[in-house]
Amino acid sequence: MKQPNRITISNIAELAGVSKATASLVLNGKGDEYRVSEETQQRILSIAEEHRYQPSFHARALRSSRSHTIGLVLPFLTQFTNASLAKELESLFRNAGIQIIIACSDEDPEQEKIVVNNLLQRQVDGLIVISSNTSDESYSKIHSYVPVVQLGRQIGDSNLPLIMTDATGATANLIQIIAQQQTDEVYYFGGEPMLTPSKQRLEGYKQGLTRANVSVHNEWIRQRNYFSYSGYDMMEEVCNELGRPPKALFTASFSLLEGVLQYLNQNPEMQSGLQHLACFDDHELLDFMPLRIDSIAQDYTALAFNAFTTLMALMEDRPLPSPDKQTIQARIRWRHPESRRLSKLMASDFLHQK
């Protein structure tokens, strides 16, 4: 296919009857600074607009020693949390004149290494990573010449800048309310036990039971991965063991909840025995479900904004706007009537104690 002829600064300078240097100054917004007359500036800009001139991205990068791109490394783009964060980040960086290149690791550390190397070969100016690694050795080396920000997950005990949700606190608050209603049985379905968010959600679950004076039973805790089929398989497993559904169930992700709901849809006789269902992460579809499902809503806007401002500060060699480790509060969406009543009662008691 024949490539279209693109108008260049030289073409615009010739049409405007000025030097290439003058045209370049005006098109780069420096006409006033170098005292180019208003009439000349308007003539150059009008010609550029008429011919739909677009500046060369590569020339811009060479002049500034920056590519004006950043890499966003995700486990999967299709999962709700990752897609929500990608959407928020793309908007923020686009408005700052920076293009995001998204790469997926498929939750595989070796695949992650490959996609990160590909991003570095493209000379990205920074990286935001939701990593599947348990060691930050490679990222610490990269951080010495390309800034790296961890988002949503901490890589082992890494000291690289980190923005993540307070999963422990929100989960503990939710589980405490549920356990006060179902003191004899609250199951937990989780995934990827080695990941930081998984550890925090499980710790929150245990704390919530303890606050409600409910003993933790190991058989209540099931963990596989965060795919929806794991939610389906764990629900099938528990129902087969009990001969009924668990009385109360918390899933550590929305994708696991999807698998549970699929199982219940295929086995409607199990729906009536499930008295309480809750999950980490929230989706507007839960507002229209016949089941009243309590959920924990992450603040994707705040997570993305803090990752954006942190990486921009690092790329521009400015002081960080906040501490290296930033924790964003989550919000509980109460949909079960009794949960809502108990949460209000607990909040009222807390205020009276103060």
Q: Considering only the C-alpha atoms of the chain, give the largest distance between any 2 of them, rounded to a whole number of Å.
A: 86
Give residue 227's pLDDT. Answer: 92
The tokens of 80 are what?
């709700």
Mean of per-residue pLDDT scores for the chain:
89
CATH number belonging to domain 9-55? 1.10.260.40
Rg, C-alpha atoms of the chain: 26
CATH number belonging to domain 167-298+332-353? 3.40.50.2300
Do the strands 127-129 and 99-104 form a parallel or antiparallel pair, or are they unpaired? unpaired
Task: Tell which residue, 131, 136, 252, has the closest CA to residue 200.
Answer: 252
The whole-angstrom separation of Cα 53 and Cα 8 is 7
**Alpha-carbon separation of residue 256 from 47, 127, 132, 173, 233 (angstroms):** 57, 28, 18, 20, 10
Give residue 352's pLDDT. Answer: 45
The whole-angstrom separation of Cα 268 and Cα 266 is 6
**Alpha-carbon separation of residue 29 from 25, 48, 113 (angstroms):** 6, 13, 40
Say whether pLDDT at 354 is over 60.
Answer: no
Residue 63 — pLDDT band, cuts 50, 70, 90?
very low
The whole-angstrom separation of Cα 22 and Cα 9 is 10
Range with lowest mean pLDDT among 95-104, 210-219, 258-267, 340-349: 340-349
Residue 27 — pLDDT band, cuts 50, 70, 90?
confident
**Residue pLDDT, tens place only, 280-317:** 999 999 999 989 999 999 999 999 999 999 999 999 88
**Helix or strand run (H / E) with residue 279:** strand 276-280
Return the higher-pLDDT residue of 2 and 90: 90
**Residue pLDDT, tens place only, 186-234:** 999 999 999 999 999 999 999 999 999 999 999 999 999 999 999 999 9
The tokens of 11 are what?
């073409």
Helices (H) and strands (E) in the chain, counts: 13, 12
State the burial class of residue 266 (Cβ atoms within 10 Å of its Cβ: 0-12, 13-18, 19+).
exposed
**Helix or strand run (H / E) with residue 207:** helix 196-211
Give residue 348's pLDDT. Answer: 52
Residue 19 — pLDDT band, cuts 50, 70, 90?
confident
CA 164 from chain centre, in angstroms, equals 9
User: For tokens 């190991």, what's the residue?
Assistant: 218
The whole-angstrom separation of Cα 116 and Cα 124 is 10
Sign of the alpha-carbon dihedral angle for 199, 201, 204, 209: negative
Strands (E) located in 118-174: 127-129, 148-151, 162-165
Give residue 233's pLDDT. Answer: 98
The whole-angstrom separation of Cα 131 and Cα 345 is 40
Q: What is the pTM of this model?
A: 0.79
Does 67-164+300-329 match 9-55 at the fold level? no
- Domain locations along the chain: 9-55, 67-164+300-329, 167-298+332-353
The whole-angstrom separation of Cα 18 and Cα 76 is 51
**Alpha-carbon separation of residue 80 from 55, 222, 350 (angstroms):** 36, 22, 34
- Contact yes or no for 77/132 (Cβ under 8 A): no
Query: What's the CA dihedral at 326, 327, 328, 331 to 10 degrees?
Result: 180
Give residue 35's pLDDT. Answer: 83
Segment 318-343 mean pLDDT: 88
Give residue 351's pLDDT. Answer: 39
Classify domain 67-164+300-329 by CATH architecture: 3-Layer(aba) Sandwich (3.40)
The whole-angstrom separation of Cα 222 and Cα 251 is 10
- Under DSSP, the state recorded for 106 is T
Segment 55-69 mean pLDDT: 60
